[in-house]
Structure 1
């Protein structure tokens, strides 16, 4: 996927998140937003998977630990969802880890527990 396609898909993800936030409002469980965003992306014709396993490798060996990313869009963009009062550095570390472990270039950390979803929409680019 080229840069223009990623940017267009990013706009669609933001629009989908805005739609979900308008429909559901803040203050719900993260799992509610995950399922609603997944459905909204699918309604827009965008392929998305949720709870995608992320294996951990060290020196070419798979370790006995799997992480799960909330949503993977078009097999290219990682989405990590939150429904918290304040995003913490550990939340940034989580999305950065998923990007690095999967070698994906673009990810979004979206916090739905905000008055305006744009305030909770954070973009991460993998430069590793």
Structure 2
């Protein structure tokens, strides 16, 4: 599957979770339920993947963790905040660079319109 095909299924899972739970819960709740939903949709999901930082030739464990890695291709970063801030986009961009992945989704579940709160991030560009 391509990254675009994967994100189509991920978005379906996000809509299912949002429609089932609504806004206002902790990020950890959406995290657990979304894993269940995405696996139910047939996707391979890895959670809380440690992401080392390479500086020069040395790898450092700086305790960075990718929320979800789907099909070893797409990073999903979950939030449950009042507003997405620039730092959230920068965080996902950095995770994409460090992991050498092409595409990520930034999702804020604490919203009245989930469609407007799923942001596609690729190659340091918001799409």
Is 1:43–2:77 an aligned residue pair? no
Unpaired runs of 5+ in structure 1? none
Work out the CA distance in 2 between the residues paired with 1:127 and 1:91: 12
Q: Provide TM-score, normalisation by structure 1.
A: 0.93
SS of alignment partner, residue 66 of structure 1? strand
Cα-Cα RMSD: 1.3
Q: Provide TM-score, normalisation by structure 2.
A: 0.94
User: Per-residue displacement from partner, 1:72-121 (whole Å, max 9, x unpaired)?
Assistant: 00011000000001111111111001000000000000000111211110
Unpaired runs of 5+ in structure 2? none
Taking a change above 3 Å as real, the CA distance of residues 120 and 127 of structure 1, as seen in their structure-2 partners, is closer
Shift of 1:64: 4.0
- In the alignment of these two chains, the number of paired residues is 125
Work out the CA distance in 2 between the residues paired with 1:6 and 1:88: 25
